[in-house]
Amino acid sequence: MAFQISSPAFEHNAAIPSRFTCEGDDVSPELRWSGAPEGTRSLALIVEDPDAPDPAAPKRVFVHWVLYNLPANSTGLAENIQTDRLPFGTKAGQNGWQRAGYGGPCPPIGRHRYFFKLYALDIELPDLGDVDKLRLLDAMEGHVLGQAEFIGTYQKGDQ
């Protein structure tokens, strides 16, 4: 079975419902995954927008969610999961707003892509404190057994 991530809230490469954005309730969508490679000891999730601030002239990657040490045997996250309700042992890193937890799409202009990247790791990481995406990627280096990816899109005014 291939390592994969998906959401029942929207299809791959389709529009993210506004409920999960700054124009809605700004809650995290339900996520499901399966097929983690043999030897997986933990999972990490990074949700990012490579089209910031404008898809016609992107200048940076904006990070919406950083999680690590998700249990290897976990199969997803519930909709509107709060940081204090994450699976035991899971740690939340800093997003682009310099806070832990999910921050939904809120693009200033155009239709942006949102990449939900799930990494299977051969270790459980130590507590990295107020880690951001780059520090997490550094800590994961040499320990990634596999990666699954799921993409949603959003433009303000979408229903």
Label residue 158 by pLDDT band (50, 70, 90). Answer: confident
* CA–CA separation, 89 and 99 (whole Å): 19
In the chain, the domains with their CATH numbers are: 4-154 (3.90.280.10)
What's the average model confidence in pLDDT over 131-152? 98
Predicted local distance difference test score (pLDDT) of residue 1:
75
- Residue 65 · residue 46 · CB < 8 Å: yes
Q: Is the pTM of the predicted complex or chain greater than 0.95?
A: yes
Q: pLDDT tens digit string along 58-109?
A: 999 999 999 999 999 999 999 999 999 999 999 999 999 999 999 999 999 9
Q: pLDDT tens digit string along 25-54?
A: 999 999 999 999 999 999 999 999 999 999
Predicted local distance difference test score (pLDDT) of residue 59:
95
pLDDT value at 159 more than 90: no
Long-range contacts of 130-136 (CB under 8 A, 24+ apart): 130/93, 130/94, 130/100, 131/66, 131/68, 131/91, 131/93, 131/94, 132/63, 132/66, 132/93, 132/94, 133/46, 133/48, 133/63, 133/66, 133/93, 135/93, 136/44, 136/46, 136/66, 136/68, 136/93
Provide the pairing of β-strand 112-121 with 4-6. unpaired
